[in-house]
Chains A and B, each alone.
Chain A
Amino acid sequence: MKLINYTLLYTSIALLVIVGVWAGIFYINMLDEIYDSIDDGLSNSKLLILQKAQTDSSLLYKKQFGESNYSILQISEEKAMAMRDVYKDTLLYMDNEEDYEPVRLLTTSFSIKGGKFYELKIISSMVEEDDLMEDLFYSVLWLYVVLVGSVLAVNVMVLRKVWKPFYRLIDYLQQYRLGKESDKVPVDSTVREFKLLSETVSVLLERNLEVYNSQKQFIENASHELQTPLAISINKLELLAERSDVSEEQLQTIAHVIQSLERLTRLNKSLLLLSKIENKQFAAEEPVDFTVVVKRMVEDFKDLAEFKEISITYHEQEELIQYMNKDLAEMLIANLLKNAIVHNVSGGVVDITIQKNAITIQNTGSLKALNGEKLFSRFYKESIEKGTTGLGLSIVKAILEVYKATIQYRFAEGRHSMVIHF
């Protein structure tokens, strides 16, 4: 849910409650005030009628409300003594409305000289509660709508304006790739919180970059430092293998150790190569014709392909000339071609298609699709092919990233395809 919707949702709920409670209290207070003033009026009428009744006895026979607003009825003394002033709401038939309408009724008793007791009823027309309530309801509803509307308007404006730096920061972070060169974190807000956020993000990224760089440096240094001990070990074993007093069995063991060391050497070289590609140490660029590169690589791998009884074909549908480092271009094709041959089946095929902005390398092989997501991560191996480093496709990906190209893996009709898009 968007922040604006959240704000709006909670504000509207809060406003609904606040305005509702306010309307309730306002209604009760207003009603109370109205009753108060009506009752005051009734009480005043009572006094006037009582004064008049003391002098004008004709009043005492007014048993119906009729045209005036009071009626008088003679009652017994006991009853009169027991009576108090009572204000109550009641209904009275109104001729003008042709309906029963609510009225306020004051019932009281009085006596006149001579010991006669009377009951006095005075009425006063009343506010129609339902009308009042309806009016109030609509007023409050309008108030509510206007309030929510203004909250929405203010929010939209605030989000647009004040949150701009926030969205800029989000954009920046979405574009950000660790180890890739990028601009500084945008810090251009006057809002303290956003400024703080930008600064914190900036510090965080710097720290991450530092760790990333030192790790990269570590891999590079470690690989370099490994070269000499590897050279010493391999060469010493080679000399040992040549000694005449080595038995056949010992020779096999030595051969195995040499093979392991060679594998270690390859791993090491691949790691160094990856670091170098990522550090952009292959700077020299020139127009590279991929038809020429593919042709040469196919030639280089001819013997291996023949041995595995795999036929390699390639078509140039369109010329593909890319401005890049030639060694990297060769490494790119070599790695993909090598994979296509090594992870193939006897009698299989490898087919390379060159298009204007794409190269497709298709090969037969395992009948299951490979894990396209993990395929390009370091040391990921689907098969237990001996002697592979598991770094080939990482190198491919690193090369392509230098030139902002992409690679996709597809599996269809028993064929694995790698499609490079420049």
Chain B
Amino acid sequence: MKILIIEDEPDLLESITQSLEKESFLVEKAMDFDAALDKLLVYEYDCILLDIGLPDGSGLDLLKELKKENRKGSVIIISAKDSLDDKLSGLDLGADDYLVKPFHLAELNARVRSVLRRKEFDGQNILELKNVSIDFTSRNVLINKESLPLNRKEFDILSYFVANKNRLVNKTSLAEHVWGDQIDEADNFEFIYSQIKNLRKKLKDHNAQIEIQAVYGVGYKLIEL
């Protein structure tokens, strides 16, 4: 899978690159409008992370160019502006998702995985992980071909962990992903613990070959057994 990151901030570019490379993506970088345009016109990418505020042009213009050339790569807009207008015009221009800085790397992973899945499987959206099979379209989980009944939140949690398998997922990032932005101030997310506990128990009872480990004080990590 090839991903192009268009971001003018070198430190941020570096972190995103490192994180995505851990996920075994092939990552290429562009730091300004012209370099990005050159790359976009020559190569095909599966996913493009696009910063709107580039020093020598708007990312939205790159997006227009991309759509004009009819490239099939998914586009995730990254913006420092949490502006509804930018978001709407970005999505109108054909972007697949919109992410506001600052974001958690785990969230970025989940978004990238999600847009890639949507493009790739065209309805047949199933991920296999050891003896666990997750159908993102019907939101069903099978363990050893046996159905694992999960409520909405549990399924969302599991998807998030799966998208970040073997990665450290911090509590805030999980809470924001599953419970939305509104929840972000509430307590210190102790309440998500009970949900995770249920999910862990269900996985264990069904002899799943994956496990959600608690990393004390930080968050959780999904590992394959």
The contact of A251 among B81, B106, B179, B218, by CB within 8 Å, is B218
CB-based contact B170/A258 at 8 Å? yes
Q: A318 at the A/B interface (Cβ < 8 Å)?
A: no
A-B contact count (CB 8 A): 129
Q: CB within 8 Å of A: which of B16-71?
A: 16, 18-19, 22
Chain A 208-233 interface 0/1 with B at a Cβ cutoff of 8 Å (1 = within)? 00000000000000001001101110
CB-based contact B185/A231 at 8 Å? no
**Distance in angstroms between the alpha carbons of A173 and B22 in the assembled complex:** 62
When C-beta atoms are compared, the residue in chain B nearest to A333 turns out to be B182
CB-based contact B80/A304 at 8 Å? no
When C-beta atoms are compared, the residue in chain B nearest to A388 turns out to be B185
Q: Which residues of A contact B22 (CB under 8 A)?
A: 242
Chain B 7-18 interface 0/1 with A at a Cβ cutoff of 8 Å (1 = within)? 001011001101
Q: Which residues of A contact B183 (CB under 8 A)?
A: 300-301, 304, 338
Q: Which residues of A contact B172 (CB under 8 A)?
A: 258-259, 262
Q: CB within 8 Å of B: which of A269-283?
A: 269, 272, 281-282
Q: Which residues of A contact B216 (CB under 8 A)?
A: 248, 252
**Distance in angstroms between the alpha carbons of A327 and B19 in the assembled complex:** 32
Q: A341 at the A/B interface (Cβ < 8 Å)?
A: yes
Nearest 5 interchain pairs by C-beta: A307-B191, A231-B102, A235-B15, A255-B218, A334-B182
When C-beta atoms are compared, the residue in chain B nearest to A386 turns out to be B188
CB-based contact A387/B102 at 8 Å? no
When C-beta atoms are compared, the residue in chain A nearest to B168 turns out to be A242
CB-based contact A235/B80 at 8 Å? no
Q: Which residues of A contact B101 (CB under 8 A)?
A: 227-228, 230-231
CB-based contact B185/A227 at 8 Å? no
Q: CB within 8 Å of A: which of B151-190?
A: 153, 167-168, 170, 172, 179-180, 182-188, 190
CB-based contact A387/B187 at 8 Å? yes
Chain B 83-115 interface 0/1 with A at a Cβ cutoff of 8 Å (1 = within)? 110000000000000001111111000000000
Q: A266 at the A/B interface (Cβ < 8 Å)?
A: yes
**Distance in angstroms between the alpha carbons of A341 and B153 in the assembled complex:** 20
Q: A236 at the A/B interface (Cβ < 8 Å)?
A: yes
Q: A303 at the A/B interface (Cβ < 8 Å)?
A: yes
CB-based contact B187/A235 at 8 Å? no
Q: B129 at the A/B interface (Cβ < 8 Å)?
A: no
CB-based contact B218/A241 at 8 Å? yes
Q: A392 at the A/B interface (Cβ < 8 Å)?
A: yes
CB-based contact B186/A341 at 8 Å? yes
CB-based contact B19/A235 at 8 Å? yes
Q: A43 at the A/B interface (Cβ < 8 Å)?
A: no
The contact of B185 among A235, A238, A258, A338, by CB within 8 Å, is A338
Contact of A304 with B187 at beta-carbon distance under 8 Å, contacts A224-B80, A224-B81 already known:
yes
CB-based contact B153/A303 at 8 Å? yes
When C-beta atoms are compared, the residue in chain A nearest to B12 turns out to be A232
Chain B 187-204 interface 0/1 with A at a Cβ cutoff of 8 Å (1 = within)? 110111011000000000
CB-based contact B81/A255 at 8 Å? no
When C-beta atoms are compared, the residue in chain A nearest to B79 turns out to be A227
CB-based contact B217/A252 at 8 Å? yes
Contact of A234 with B102 at beta-carbon distance under 8 Å, contacts A239-B15, A242-B168 already known:
yes
Chain A 347-384 interface 0/1 with B at a Cβ cutoff of 8 Å (1 = within)? 00000000000000000000000000000000000000
Q: Which residues of B contact A224 (CB under 8 A)?
A: 80-81
The contact of B167 among A231, A242, A392, by CB within 8 Å, is A242
Contact of A387 with B185 at beta-carbon distance under 8 Å, contacts A227-B102, A235-B12 already known:
yes
Q: Which residues of B contact A255 (CB under 8 A)?
A: 170, 217-219
B186: shortest Cβ distance to chain A, in Å?
5
Q: Which residues of A contact B103 (CB under 8 A)?
A: 231
**Distance in angstroms between the alpha carbons of A341 and B182 in the assembled complex:** 13
**Distance in angstroms between the alpha carbons of A231 and B12 in the assembled complex:** 7
When C-beta atoms are compared, the residue in chain B nearest to A224 turns out to be B80
B119: shortest Cβ distance to chain A, in Å?
25
CB-based contact A303/B179 at 8 Å? yes
When C-beta atoms are compared, the residue in chain A nearest to B166 turns out to be A242
CB-based contact B9/A392 at 8 Å? no
**Distance in angstroms between the alpha carbons of A235 and B19 in the assembled complex:** 9
Q: Which residues of A contact B120 (CB under 8 A)?
A: none
The contact of B18 among A239, A303, A334, A386, by CB within 8 Å, is A239
CB-based contact A338/B182 at 8 Å? yes
29 A–B contacts, CB within 8 A, in A order:
A231-B102, A234-B104, A235-B15, A235-B19, A235-B102, A236-B11, A238-B19, A238-B170, A251-B217, A251-B218, A255-B170, A256-B217, A258-B172, A258-B218, A259-B172, A269-B82, A300-B182, A300-B183, A303-B195, A304-B179, A304-B186, A327-B84, A330-B182, A331-B182, A338-B182, A341-B186, A342-B186, A387-B186, A388-B185
